[in-house]
Chains A and B, each alone.
Chain A
Amino acid sequence: MNKKRYIYTFIITLAIFFFSIWLSNGFQSQKVQSLRDLESRINLDILSVETRFSLLQKTSCEHVVTNDNSKTGDIGFNEDLNNVALKIKSLENQLGYENADVISLKKYYSLLQIKDYLLAKEFHDRCKKNTVSILYFYDADCQDCAKQSIILDKIISDYPEIRVYYLDKKTNNPALDTLSSIFKITQSPSLVINEKTYTGYQDIDQIESYIPEIKTWKALKDKENATSTATTTATTSKKR
């Protein structure tokens, strides 16, 4: 029996094993770094908008649109921040909740969210724009939070004018604690809509009732749909 062969095989397999660990760690660090870069870029964008706001004496709102996401004539960091949120979640699954990098990335993300919220608020006040902000305070292990997240996702996709800020109460973040105490947040989930606090799980009908603007948007949308169908029937009848 060729004992040596078994030993060589073990050594080579061990080498493959360590190589895999090394590769895996390499990929993880790369991911963490790319996420950090993404967050820095967002921060830079936010900083630039804030500076322009400070520079402008009057309400020159048309000059402040930064992204292509200007359907509603709005400042759009939303997509980028959502992208960051998804990536953080993925890293959390791979590296674990307690991982130092994940925790610091989440802190940074929380801060960016709050900055975005303040910016959107100022934009709303100064430029009388149509944005509605929802602050959503949650906990990783609370029962109703999973349900609440799903409802909020639906709201975002139905009404792009609504911005939802996902704030994880467990992140060790003084700014977040301040925000919590301002709105008197006691349990998860909690929503703050148009500066009013709603504690506990809210279903889709309840949320729609808190936002009167939704009625106007719905009416507008229905009008749009009506006119577009009218034009199509007009064109088709013309073709005949």
Chain B
Amino acid sequence: MFNSFDIIYTSFLFIAIYIQVFFLIVFFENHDEISDNEPKDISDESYPTVTFLIPGWNEQDTIVATIESVLELDYPKNKFHIIAIDDGSTDNTWERMQAYANHDQVQVLTKENGGKHTALNHALNFLKTELVVSFDADTKINKDAMRKAAHYFMKDKTLMALGGTVLIDKPKTIAQKAQEIEYEIFSFTKKMLGLADAVFVVPGAFSVFRKEVFTVVGGYNNAHNLEDIELTIRMQKAGLKVRHAHDAIVWTKGPDTIKKLYKQRLRWSYGFIMNLFDYKAMLFNKRYKNFGIFTLPMTTFTYIILLFVFFYSMYKVVLSVVDTIYKIYLVGIGQLEWPTFDTFFINTKIYVIMAMFLYISIILQYFFGREISKVSKKNFWNIPYFILMFSFLAPIWVLKSIYNSITKKKVLWR
């Protein structure tokens, strides 16, 4: 009755449900902080000064809209600046940036191509404000986002870094629609991680730091092309206070084709594995508190269970295909008829029931994420795209990233 597969699957599901329950508990414990507690009557003067760092490589199509979007912020004009950095683009990005060279809120820099982290580090040299914002060149920002973000820093002097909420702007393709749902779920999980002092990553698309952060942990590293995760790891390692703002929202288009999405996620996956390897000492290490005990293991585990479910499903599919081919070989095709549906045949083993709980909790996260970030656009018909993407595409990029990380290791050792 209980074979080894059953036991493994059930244990994995137990851990997965544990993670979901953890998030839900954090949610219910902190329901007050999440609901609106807008501070009233703050003078413009009391707001901190901010610099937006916008690095760009070949972003000629979006850089102007991005800079305009930031300039339109509802934030005291004398309190925020932009530093736009062209990282040796081969298109007209630098020309487009230069149009703002004489704007009193904008400073434009150019340099030889070296990667996003070099652009950011270069700009940090010119930093004069209290806060600094890492911002992507293809992102639009809500008018109130910077004010909302600033409130966190003003209320809490010990807060050092704040991740913003990223959502998908007007998704058109299947890939974008799947991401739309995914990012709404992220809004929930990231906020919960923030409340639990267990932030996994402050996203490079929009995160706010006190300038002291870079004095304490240093500037950005290449970090296998995942500089935002690696910076967060270093901040967590140094014990800095990192949180997430569910109400400071920016919008990005997201990769439009499945191929581009795959490439992006492959980079993220590979980057995560390599960084995990670099910082493996932090895994389950009590010294790094919630980040070490919960966050890192949790993220690693999601990769493991994803692969497990994928392999098992493939195994079942292959078995049934082989079965059907054998049948056709023996007796020819005429046999195929739809079996009548009888609820009797629904699998009710324990792991099926637990998997149901898991799916329900993820759907709940989708609704809660929308609630806390106040998303009103109805899009639950995109959920099937999200499910398809994660069931079929995700295992492929995870497998490829594992393969890449193993072979790359081989290269290094030579």
Contact = CB atoms under 8 A, between A and B. Distances in A.
B357 A16 contact: yes
Interface in A4-31: 5-6, 8-10, 12-13, 16-17, 20-21, 23-24, 27-28, 31
15 contacts: A1-B293, A5-B22, A9-B25, A13-B17, A13-B18, A13-B21, A16-B354, A20-B354, A20-B357, A24-B350, A24-B352, A24-B353, A87-B344, A95-B1, A98-B1
The 9 closest A-B pairs by CB, nearest first: A27-B348, A96-B1, A154-B331, A20-B353, A13-B18, A24-B350, A9-B22, A1-B289, A20-B354
Nearest to B293: A1
B18 A9 contact: yes
Contacts of B14: 13, 17
A33 to B, nearest CB: 11
B345 interface: yes
Interface in B304-359: 326-327, 330-332, 334-335, 342, 344-345, 347-350, 352-354, 357
Contacts of B197: 1
A8 B22 CA distance: 9
B25 A150 contact: no
B327 A17 contact: no
Interface of A: 1-2, 5-6, 8-10, 12-13, 16-17, 20-21, 23-24, 27-28, 31, 34-35, 86-87, 90, 94-96, 98-99, 147, 150-151, 153-154, 157, 204
A150 to B, nearest CB: 5
Q: Provide the main secondary structure of the chain A interface.
A: helix
B276 interface: no
Contacts of B109: none
B26 interface: yes
A28 B344 CA distance: 10
B1 A99 contact: yes
B322 to A, nearest CB: 12
B71 interface: no
B196 interface: yes
B337 to A, nearest CB: 8
Given A16-B354, A20-B354, A20-B357, 9 more contacts: A2-B290, A6-B294, A8-B25, A12-B25, A17-B14, A24-B348, A87-B344, A150-B330, A154-B332
Contacts of B18: 9-10, 13
A110 to B, nearest CB: 20
Nearest to A98: B1
Contacts of A87: 342, 344-345
Interface in B257-313: 286, 289-290, 293-294
A16 B17 contact: yes
B348 A94 contact: yes
B29 to A, nearest CB: 8
Contacts of A98: 1
